[in-house]
């Protein structure tokens, strides 16, 4: 019985290891200087579950890779907004 429970627990915990990361592109139109992307990137990287954030001034876009079990797009948008740079999902 204990062996079955242990195997079940191991199987369930390994499911997260195979979860694919989620990527979203956010438009950040209020970035108006070359240092703005650093602030936006820092705000996004501080969100739990974010594994990668690439922010570009020229395109005013942030491409964010994250674990959707730990955070949401709404939280990412709140993070940029709280840093002074409101964002929206790029359609």
Give the domain range for residue 32.
Answer: 19-89
Residue 16's pLDDT is what?
52
Residue 45's pLDDT is what?
97
9 in any annotated domain: no
Residue 2, Ramachandran bin (φ over 0: left; ψ between -120 and 50: alpha; else beta): alpha
Output phi, psi for 19, to 5 deg: -70, 135
10 in any annotated domain: no
Under-50 pLDDT residues of the chain:
5-7, 9, 14
Number of folded domains in the chain? Answer: 1
Residue 6's pLDDT is what?
42
Neighbours of 74 (CB within 10 A): 9
Residue 87's pLDDT is what?
98
pTM value?
Answer: 0.79
């Amino acid at each position: 019985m204990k062996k079955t429970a242990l195997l079940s627990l191991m199987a369930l915990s390994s499911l997260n290891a195979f979860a694919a990361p989620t990527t979203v592109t956010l438009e950040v139109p209020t970035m108006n200087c070359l240092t703005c992307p650093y602030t936006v990137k820092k705000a996004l990287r501080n969100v739990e579950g974010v594994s990668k954030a690439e922010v570009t001034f020229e395109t005013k876009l942030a491409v964010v890779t994250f674990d959707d079990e730990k955070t949401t797009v709404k939280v990412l948008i709140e993070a940029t907004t709280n840093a002074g740079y409101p964002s929206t999902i790029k359609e």
